[in-house]
């Protein structure tokens, strides 16, 4: 049984169902297709879809495409891919633009009711008339046009007779309202721009608030969940829903019925929750797209990006992002989540699921001089220390092995537990080695180490029980597969890259060390990973085979996250 979550939205839904207000739950996730989804959207996606799933309801994916200049079919496709990748599927795929005919009829209804008028003020004049937080607005001089004149002008707007920006259709609400959103907001604007879904069919487009409220009503949405910045828009949302009253106006839905869509119109309720904010990130499609456009990152799916595509390529799993959202919870409290919570969710997911492998990122050769030149054997290693069901793999072992340059020190610092000249260390799964000789070139640079493997010290043998301080990982030099290993780190070096108090922008806070690419060696079983397979490279961190560049004969791994938080202060 699914454990019952207790946040305030689920409490509302339970009450609405048990009290008979609704007999089913319908939600929607409504992104505007003007960019790629980011990790903030993951919160909304998980909430919208999980809520419907938990209560046996339905969730639509609705592309809120009312702003044709910025929208693109590329984004429409990517949004669908990302939602599915996160593990969700929609009841129906809809576009706000599917409803343009209905919205147009709804606007005519508002005009006929005296609830909307065509206004000839310019954008700048509209701003002047709007007033401020402390000052009421003033009525437009066009506010008292007759219904006939308004209908005629609106139809001519629709027919394409007027220039962009020359007129708007505005709701007639209240220019003295304390809430500025209610001061006769625009419902339609003239914009002769082709639309990604409707092409050249419309020279006018509905405004977001109008289209969004009516889109919810058309789809029979019961609980319309959105982020807190829409709280001030709720009175307008309700005004649109109530004045148009689709639930009792089947004639407005005729264009949809003609397309074979059922009439599900209802009165939806908007409920706001706090956005997901995470430090060390920027979370806005506009800023993320600027990073791409300015070449500061390598595309939308750069593994350092906080887009879902970037996180995916970095090795974030859908389960880790769902876990993050669960841990953060749903409330109306604004907060900033520490980046370590995101990384912690990934570690917890991968600790349980990722097979273990050995890889060496900065190789130093160690020759086990007491083994015969042609020594070759295959050692069985468990794929996962806590999950026997993951089985075993064979790891080749031979006379020459790569170890991590960092695991050797000629002059060890205090507390050192790894290899030193004359000292011993355990080679993971292969026995105890003593370092006998440090071979250097003329310049004094270490070329390789030579040592002796104690043949009686294999795990399980008597001789393995000696007290040895450290265990290091290794890769057989004869069998290791050369690999490109991309050591990613946080994209920003400060907790609040968005803080432009000192006149700087997030661009000025890019972490110069957010990527370092090295050539290392991985054991053969790691090279065999499929693209997008996550692995733990022992002692190094969690890595993923790059979705695009990884090949079995030329492996490429991205570091998803280190084993421990190295940023903690
Ligand atoms: P952006 O500012 O990045 O463009 P947006 O809110 O304009 O984001 P939309 O496409 O309108 O993007 O968002 C779709 C849904 O996702 C909305 O319901 C919105 O409230 C929600 N959403 C966007 N950002 C976040 C976030 N950081 N946390 C939670 N939900 C979010
Ligand atoms: Mg938006
Ligand atoms: Mg936005």
For a pocket test of ligand 1, which of 9, 27, 29, 31 has the largest count of ligand atoms closer than 8 A to its C-beta? 31
Distance CA 248, CA 337 (A): 44
Q: How many CB atoms lie within 10 A of CB 554?
A: 12
Would the CB of 337 count as within 6 Å of ligand 1? no
Distance in angstroms (rounded) separating the CA atoms of residues 378 and 550: 25
Note the pLDDT of residue 502. Answer: 74
How far apart, in whole angstroms, are the C-alpha atoms of residue 490 and residue 305? Answer: 9
- Output the CATH code of domain 8-273: 3.40.50.620
Q: Which pLDDT value is given to residue 3?
A: 62
The pLDDT tens digits along the chain (569 residues) read 456 788 999 999 999 999 999 999 999 999 999 999 999 999 999 999 999 999 999 999 999 999 999 999 999 999 999 999 999 999 999 999 999 999 999 999 999 999 999 999 999 999 999 999 999 999 999 999 999 999 999 999 999 999 999 999 999 999 999 999 999 999 999 999 999 999 999 999 999 999 999 999 999 999 999 999 999 999 999 999 999 999 999 999 999 999 999 999 999 999 999 999 999 999 999 899 999 999 999 999 999 999 999 999 999 999 999 999 999 999 999 999 999 999 999 999 999 999 999 999 999 999 999 999 999 999 999 999 999 999 999 999 999 999 999 999 999 999 999 999 999 999 999 999 999 999 999 999 999 999 999 999 999 999 999 999 999 999 999 999 999 999 999 999 999 998 777 778 898 999 999 999 999 999 999 999 999 999 999 999 999 999 999 999 999 999 999 999 887 65
Per-residue pLDDT at 537: 98
**Quick one: pLDDT at residue 568?**
65
The ligand 1 atom nearest the CA atom of 230: 20
Q: Is 43 in the pocket of ligand 1 (CB under 6 A)?
A: yes
Nearest ligand atom owner, CA of 208: 2
Q: Is 215 in the pocket of ligand 1 (CB under 6 A)?
A: no
- Tokens for 545, please give them: 């085979």
Residue ranges of the binding site for ATP: 32-34, 38-44, 227, 275-276, 283-285
Which CATH number among 2.40.240.10, 3.30.70.20, 3.10.129.10, 3.80.10.10 corresponds to the domain 359-473?
2.40.240.10
User: How far does Cα 387 stand from its chain's mean position?
Assistant: 29
Q: Is the CB of 284 under 6 A from ligand 1?
A: yes
The yes-or-no answer to whether 8-273 and 277-356+481-569 have a common fold is no
pLDDT of residue 1: 44
Rounded Cα gap, residues 146 and 150, in angstroms: 6
What is the whole-number distance in angstroms between the Cα of residue 452 and the centre of ligand 2? 65
Domain ranges across the chain: 8-273, 277-356+481-569, 359-473
DSSP 70: G
Closest ligand 1 atom number to CA of residue 38? 3
- What confidence tens digit (pLDDT) does each residue in 472-524 have? 999 999 999 999 999 999 999 999 998 777 778 898 999 999 999 999 999 99
Task: Please report the pLDDT score of residue 4 as a whole number.
Answer: 77
Per-residue pLDDT tens for 389-412?
999 999 999 999 999 999 999 999
Closest atom of ligand 1 to CA, residue 287: 3
Q: Which residues contact 441 (CB under 8 A, 6 or more apart)?
A: 447
Taking the CA of 33 as reference, the closest ligand is: 1
Q: Is 226 in the pocket of ligand 1 (CB under 6 A)?
A: yes
Ligand nearest to the CA of 38: 1
- Matching residue, tokens 């110069």: 512
Q: Does 47 contact ligand 1 (Cβ within 6 A)?
A: no
Q: Can you say how many angstroms the Cα of residue 310 is from the centroid of all Cα atoms in its chain?
A: 8
- The per-residue pLDDT for range 292-304, each reduced to its tens digit, is 999 999 999 999 9
Which of 44, 208, 276, 334 to probe ligand 1 with, by most ligand atoms within 8 A of CB? Answer: 44
Residues annotated within the binding site are 32-34, 38-44, 64, 208, 227, 275-276, 283-285
Atom of ligand 1 nearest to the CA of 275: 28
Query: Ligand 1 within 6 A of 40 CB?
Result: yes
| Ligand 2 (single-atom ion) residues, CB below 5 Å | 32
In angstroms, rounded to a whole number, what is the distance separating the alpha carbons of residues 300 and 316?
A: 15
163 C-alpha to ligand 1 centroid (Å): 32
Give the catalytic positions in this structure: 32, 275, 285
Q: Does the Cβ of 13 fall within 6 Å of ligand 1?
A: no
pLDDT at residue 567, rounded to an integer: 76
In ligand 1, the atom with minimum distance to the C-alpha of 225 is 18
Block residue for tokens 């006939």: 148
Q: Which of 9, 82, 209, 227 to mutate to test the pocket of ligand 1 (most atoms within 8 A of CB)?
A: 227
Annotated binding site for L-glutamine: 64, 208
Atom 18 of ligand 1, nearest CA residue: 226
Q: Which atom of ligand 1 is nearest to the CA of 229?
A: 20
CB of 227 closer than 6 angstroms to any ligand 1 atom: yes
* Structure-token pair, residue 306: 């906080």
Provide the ipTM.
0.96
Contact (CB, 8 A) for 553 and 527: yes
Residues 4-47 pLDDT 10s: 788 999 999 999 999 999 999 999 999 999 999 999 999 999 99
| Nearest ligand to residue 328 Cα | 1
The predicted model scores a pTM of 0.95
Q: Which amino acid residue places its CA nearest to atom 9 of ligand 1?
A: 31
Unique residue bearing structure tokens 């020279």 = 203
Write the DSSP string, 170-222. Answer: EE-S-TT-SSGGGSS-EEEEE----BTTTBTS-SEEE-HHHHHHHHHHHTT-S
In percent, the amount of the chain with pLDDT more than 70 equals: 99
Smallest CA separation from ligand 1 atom 22, residue: 41
**Cα of 506 from ligand 2 centre, angstroms:** 21
| Nearest ligand to the CA atom of 227 | 1
Determine the Cα–Cα distance for residues 187 and 205; give it in Å rounded to an integer.
9
Distance of CA 41 from the midpoint of ligand 3 (Å): 11
- In 3-state terms, what secondary structure has residue 419? strand
Q: Is 33 in the pocket of ligand 1 (CB under 6 A)?
A: no
DSSP string covering 217-259: HHTT-SEEEEEGGGGGGHHHHHHHHHHH-GGG-GGGGHHHHHT
CATH, domain 277-356+481-569, list 2.40.240.10, 3.40.50.300, 3.40.50.720, 1.20.1250.20: 2.40.240.10
């Amino acid at each position: 049984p699914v454990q019952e979550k207790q946040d305030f939205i689920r409490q509302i839904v339970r009450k609405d169902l048990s009290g008979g207000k609704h007999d089913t739950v319908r939600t929607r996730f409504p992104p505007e297709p003007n960019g790629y989804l980011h990790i903030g959207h993951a919160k909304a996606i998980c909430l919208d879809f999980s809520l419907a799933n938990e209560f046996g309801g339905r969730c639509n994916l609705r592309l809120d495409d009312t702003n044709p200049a910025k929208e693109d079919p590329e984004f429409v496709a990517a949004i669908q891919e990302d939602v599915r990748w996160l593990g969700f599927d929609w009841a129906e795929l809809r576009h706000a633009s599917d409803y343009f005919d209905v919205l147009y009829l709804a606007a005519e209804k508002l005009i006929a009711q005296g609830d909307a008028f065509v206004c000839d003020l310019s954008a700048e004049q509209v701003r002047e008339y709007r007033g401020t937080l402390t000052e009421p607005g003033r009525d437009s001089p066009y506010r008292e046009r007759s219904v006939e004149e308004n209908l005629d002008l609106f139809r001519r707007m629709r027919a394409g007779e007027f220039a962009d920006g020359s007129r708007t259709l505005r709701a007639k609400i209240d220019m003295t309202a304390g809430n500025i959103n209610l001061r006769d907001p625009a419902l339609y604007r003239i914009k002769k721009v082709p639309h990604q879904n409707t092409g050249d069919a419309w020279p006018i487009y509905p405004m977001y608030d109008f289209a969004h409220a009516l889109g919810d009503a058309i789809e029979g949405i019961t609980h319309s969940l959105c982020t807190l910045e829409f709280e001030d828009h709720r009175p307008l949302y309700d005004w649109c829903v109530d004045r148009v009253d689709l639930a009792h106006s089947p004639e407005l839905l005729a264009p949809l019925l003609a397309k074979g869509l059922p009439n599900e119109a209802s009165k939806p309720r908007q409920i706001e929750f706090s956005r997901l904010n995470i430090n060390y990130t920027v979370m806005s499609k506009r800023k993320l797209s600027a990073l791409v456009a300015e070449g500061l990152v390598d595309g939308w799916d750069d593994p350092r990006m906080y887009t879902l595509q970037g996180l995916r390529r970095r090795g974030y799993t859908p389960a880790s992002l769902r876990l993050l959202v669960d841990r953060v919870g749903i409330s109306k409290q604004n907060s900033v989540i520490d980046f370590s919570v995101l990384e912690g969710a990934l570690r917890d997911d991968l600790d349980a699921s990722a097979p273990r492998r050995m890889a060496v990122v900065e190789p130093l050769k160690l020759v086990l001089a007491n083994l015969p030149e042609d020594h070759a054997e295959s050692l069985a290693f468990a794929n996962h220390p806590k999950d026997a069901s993951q089985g075993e793999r064979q790891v080749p072992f031979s006379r020459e092995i790569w170890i991590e340059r960092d695991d050797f020190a000629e002059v060890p610092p205090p507390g050192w537990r790894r290899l030193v000249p004359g000292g011993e260390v355990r080679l993971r799964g292969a026995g105890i080695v003593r370092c006998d000789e440090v071979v250097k070139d003329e310049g004094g640079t270490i070329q390789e180490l030579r040592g002796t493997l104690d043949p009686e010290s294999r795990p399980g043998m008597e001789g393995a029980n000696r007290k040895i301080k450290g265990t290091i990982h290794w890769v057989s030099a004869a069998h290791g597969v050369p690999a490109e290993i991309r050591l990613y780190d946080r994209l920003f070096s400060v907790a609040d890259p968005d803080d432009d108090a000192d006149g700087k922008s997030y661009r000025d806070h890019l972490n110069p060390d957010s990527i370092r690419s090295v050539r290392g060696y991985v054991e053969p079983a790691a090279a065999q990973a499929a693209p997008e397979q996550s692995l733990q490279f022992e002692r190094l961190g969690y890595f993923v085979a790059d979705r695009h560049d990884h090949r079995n004969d030329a492996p490429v791994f991205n570091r998803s996250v280190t084993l421990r938080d190295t940023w903690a202060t």
